[in-house]
Amino acid sequence: MRFGWPVLAGVALGVASVAADRVGGALRTTLQFLASTGFSWGCVGFVVALPARTRGAAVAASVVALCTATACYYWLNLGGGPPAGVLLAFGYWLALSVAGGAALGALAHAIRRDHPHRAAIAAGIAGGLLAGAGIQIAVVDPGPAQLMNGGLQAVAGLLVVAWLFARRPAPRPWLRYAGATVLAGTVAALAWDAVESVQVVGF
């Protein structure tokens, strides 16, 4: 497995995420959506795994991309807070990058190469995971701005996976996919709520 593409994607994501914290106006809003949301990070982890021919390679690609992005982001933010706080936040998000990357990589591989029924379930879970952060934002803080922000993240996550699943050869069990999406989206939103409640987030 060659890691050039995942590393490049991770560096680009990390740099763009830092830029989103340091600019203002419409550019900040755009960069935050593209590089500093649960959807954008999950989408990168998911997409870089798609070309892999084996499950292990897919998992490795996703983990490498997300860990690279995390390392890049916190390296560029070393002067942004107490060193101990930065390192604690880095360790926390690095662990989540490994776990999230492993899950997204395995799901991406299953959608492309597994049996139709298992692929449908994998697609539903992946869609729910990519939409989960947006659902959490829209539900926990349902003001107009947050509702739009969360809604856009959720819809984008669902569309990415639905498009990929639709490209599979028939049969495509859409009802099984839809059921898995609803369940996974609910669980992912609850998980994101727990993740955001940990005090190391934001140093």
Distance from C-alpha of 43 to C-alpha of 6, rounded to nearest angstrom: 12
Residue 119 lies in a domain: yes
Compute CA distances 121 → 56, 180, 184, whole Å. Answer: 19, 6, 10
Distance from C-alpha of 17 to C-alpha of 37, rounded to nearest angstrom: 9
Query: What confidence score (pLDDT) does residue 80 get?
Result: 67
Structure tokens at 24: 């203002």
Compute CA distances 34 → 40, 58, 86, whole Å. Answer: 6, 22, 23
Residue 13 belongs to what domain range? 4-197
Q: What is the pLDDT of residues 148-200, one digit of tens each?
A: 889 999 999 999 999 999 998 889 999 999 999 999 999 999 999 999 888 76
Residue 133 lies in a domain: yes
- 189 φ, ψ (degrees, to nearest 5): -65, -40
Q: What is the pLDDT of residues 128-149, one digit of tens each?
A: 999 999 999 998 877 888 888 8
Q: What is the pLDDT of residues 10-68, one digit of tens each?
A: 999 999 999 998 888 888 889 989 998 999 999 999 999 999 999 999 999 999 999 99
Residue 158 lies in a domain: yes
Residue 202 lies in a domain: no
- Look up tokens 């028939």; give the residue: 170
Count structural domains, the chain.
1
Compute CA distances 87 → 70, 79, 83, 127, 203, whole Å. Answer: 11, 11, 6, 31, 9
Query: What confidence score (pLDDT) does residue 24 get?
Result: 84
Q: What is the pLDDT of residues 85-97, one digit of tens each?
A: 888 889 999 999 9
Residue 107 lies in a domain: yes
Residue 203 lies in a domain: no
Distance from C-alpha of 52 to C-alpha of 54, rounded to nearest angstrom: 6
Residue 59 lies in a domain: yes
- Look up tokens 């390296």; give the residue: 75
Distance from C-alpha of 92 to C-alpha of 168, rounded to nearest angstrom: 36
Q: Is the pTM of this model over 0.85?
A: yes
8 Å CB contact between 66 and 100: yes
Residue 40 makes CB contacts below 8 A (sequence gap 6+) with 13, 33, 34
Please report the DSSP string for 53-94 in residue order: SSHHHHHHHHHHHHHHHHHHHHHHTTTSS-HHHHHHHHHHHH
Residue 202 backbone class (left: φ over 0; alpha: ψ -120 to 50; beta: rest): left
Residue 25 backbone class (left: φ over 0; alpha: ψ -120 to 50; beta: rest): left
Q: What is the pLDDT of residues 112-133, one digit of tens each?
A: 999 999 999 999 999 999 999 9
Residue 129 lies in a domain: yes
